[in-house]
Amino acid sequence: GAVVSQHPSWVICKSGTSVKIECRSLDFQATTMFWYRQFPKQSLMLMATSNEGSKATYEQGVEKDKFLINHASLTLSTLTVTSAHPEDSSFYICSARLTSGSDEQFFGPGTRLTVL
């Protein structure tokens, strides 16, 4: 199956700092990637859709100035959490959609962010 990586797998930062999370499709090209957030014991919540070469589309209630998304190539999307606060602590997961054949999505292993 298609492989998606995320880096870092976990990060601890101080309140007020910014954190960048990378999502890469390793063996396929992805014109569309997605960013999700998951709180403990809850389901995945879509934050934004990232399209290569264009601006991301954010879900209602997600602050675009706080969660900056860049999709500069067909294999890389980044999520930057700016001026992080403790309430931003969460598990962030990206996915990439196949562009040929089916439109199945494959998920990265997730990044656990803790803001102190």
Partner 1 sequence: GIQVEQSPPDLILQEGANSTLRCNFSDSVNNLQWFHQNPWGQLINLFYIPSGTKQNGRLSATTVATERYSLLYISSSQTTDSGVYFCAVDTGKLIFGQGTTLQVKP
| Options 26, 39, 85, 104; binder of partner 1; rule CB under 8 A | 104
Please report, as residue ranges, which positions from 25 to 44 form the binding site for partner 1 (by CB under 8 A): 34, 38, 42-44
Q: Is 17 helix (H, G, I), strand (E, B) or coil?
A: coil
| Options 23, 95, 96, 115; binder of partner 1; rule CB under 8 A | 95
Q: Which residues contact 63 (CB under 8 A, 6 or more apart)?
A: none
> Is residue 106 a contact point for partner 1 (CB under 8 A)?
yes
Exposure string over 11-38, b if 16+ CB within 10 A, otherwise e: bebeeeeebebbbbbeebebebbbbbbe
Per-residue string for binding with partner 1, 65-94, x by CB under 8 A? --------------------------x-x-
For the CB of residue 67, give the shortest distance to partner 1 in the complex, in Å.
Answer: 16
Q: How far is CA 71 from CA 35, 59, 74, in A?
A: 11, 17, 8
Q: Is 54 helix (H, G, I), strand (E, B) or coil?
A: coil
| Options 49, 70, 82, 99; binder of partner 1; rule CB under 8 A | 49
How many other CB atoms are there within 10 angstroms of residue 64's CB atom? 13
Instruction: Provide the binding-site residues for partner 1, judged by CB under 8 A.
Output: 1, 34, 38, 42-46, 49, 91, 93, 95, 102-107, 109-110, 112
